[in-house]
Structure formats: structure tokens, C-alpha cells
A and B are shown apart, each in its own frame.
Chain A
Amino acid sequence: GIQVEQSPPDLILQEGANSTLRCNFSDSVNNLQWFHQNPWGQLINLFYIPSGTKQNGRLSATTVATERYSLLYISSSQTTDSGVYFCAVERSDDMRFGAGTRLTVKP
């Protein structure tokens, strides 16, 4: 099956800093999404981005499908950005998640 690797596994930032999270995948995909899992365990949709670039406030994402990676940018990080960020890809009929990047933003 398709492999999804996220890096870094853990990231600690000072409030206000910028960061880039990476997602590599092993095969062509039809769908790629970024999620934020908050401290209550809820999965929050961030981006549906099988290709191209999208921006939503302080967050943006870029997927280069031909090179099988996606990047999530967080600018001017806030403590509420803390949590685990998952990349998930879909090739056929099931979405596979990476292991996540655990982000801690310190005040």
C-alpha cells in the first residue's frame, strides 16, 4: 500500500515563529488532505489539496504531485496551533494517514 511519511515528528516553536511541515508519499494520489488534531482529539480539516497551493489565513499548503510531496506552512504561530498535524492521501478508495507532526507552540 501507499506509504506516507511526515517530518519532523516533533516540533517545538516559540509563539510568533514560522514553520514548515512536510509530507512525502510513495505513489500517485487522487486526494491529499491536511488535518489538525486538537487536544480534544478532533480532526479538523485544514486543506484539501491534491495539487497546487492554497492559503487560509496564517496557514498555506503546497502539493507537488509529480514529486510526491506536500508542505504545510504555519506563519506567526500561536499557542492554539499546538496539536498533531496529519497528512492523509487517497489513491483508490481509502485514505492513508501519516504518523503526524506533533507541534508545540510555547508562549
Chain B
Amino acid sequence: EPEVTQTPSHQVTQMGQEVILRCVPISNHLYFYWYRQILGQKVEFLVSFYNNEISEKSEIFDDQFSVERPDGSNFTLKIRSTKLEDSAMYFCASSMSGTGELFFGEGSRLTVL
């Protein structure tokens, strides 16, 4: 069964460092998303991406964040200068259509020290 894959599963970084989280969405999906979940809290929407551009983003997704689909298969989330409060589980998701079922990856746990 096709699935969304994410790497790394866990990353530890120092405050101020750049981090890139990678996702390979399901191959025939057209809509891509990043969500995050701070430990013990609910899952929060960060950004949606369609047709090689951001279609919607939340207030969390500030100038420190960027997304890219560099090669037609990977979908990346970059955090330019990490802060302690960026520590969270980051989930990538994809769907066939804008209102269709979302399929989530297993998450990348980011720990900022």
C-alpha cells in the first residue's frame, strides 16, 4: 500500500541551526501538507502546497519556515534558525485532491537544544 515517508525520524539540533525535514508523498497525490505537534498538544496545521506553490499557511508558518518540492518527489520543510519552541513532531501529509482524504507520514521528531 502506498505510503508517505518521512526522514529523519528523529533529529537533534542546536538552537540557531538550520534543519531540513524531508517527505516523499504518495506518488499520484497533488496536495502536500506539513503539520506539527508539540509534545502533549494537538496537531497544528502549518502549510499546504499545490502546483508548486503555497496555497495556504497558518500564523505559525513565519519567515523562518519554507517549503520546497525540489525534484518532483521530495517535499521539504526548512526551518532556517531553529528555536527551542520549534521542538515538536512534524508530520507530512498528502492527498489526491484539496478536500480528499489525507494520508500522514510517521512524523519527524525535532529536538532543539
Interface of A is mostly: strand
Contacts of A92 in B (CB 8 A): 56
- Does A42 sit at the interface, judged by CB under 8 A? yes
Return B12 CB to nearest CB of chain A, in Å. Answer: 16
- A42, A93, A97: which contacts B106 (Cβ < 8 A)? A42
- Nearest B residue to A50 via CB reads B99
| CB closest residue in chain A, given B101 | A48
Which residues of the partner chain B approach A100 to less than 8 Å between Cβ atoms?
Answer: 42
Across the interface, do B104 and A45 meet the contact criterion of CB distance under 8 Å?
yes
B18 part of interface (Cβ distance < 8 Å):
no
Interface range, A side: 20 to 34
A residues near B113, Cβ cutoff 8 Å: none
Complex-state Cα separation, A50 to B101, whole angstroms: 10
Chain B residues near A95: list those with CB within 8 A: 33, 35, 45, 93, 102
Q: State whether A43 and B43 are in contact (beta carbons under 8 Å apart), knowing that A93-B48, A93-B56, A95-B33 are contacts in the complex.
A: yes
In the complex, whether B109 has a CB less than 8 A from a CB of chain A is yes
Please tell me which one of the listed residues B37, B99, B103 contacts residue A31 in the complex, with CB atoms under 8 A apart. Answer: B99
- Indicate whether A31 sits within 8 Å of B101 (C-beta atoms), given known contacts A41-B89, A42-B106, A43-B107: yes
Interface string of B15-55 (1 = CB under 8 A from A): 00000000000000001010101000111110010100001
Contact (A98, B42) CB under 8 Å given A93-B55, A93-B56: yes
Chain A window 11-40, contacts with chain B (Cβ cutoff 8 Å), 1 for yes, 0 for no: 000000000000000000011010100000
The 9 closest A-B pairs by CB, nearest first: A30-B99, A48-B101, A97-B43, A43-B104, A93-B56, A94-B45, A99-B42, A31-B99, A93-B48
Q: A residues near B, CB below 8 A?
A: 30-31, 33, 35, 41-43, 45, 48, 50, 86, 88, 90, 92-100
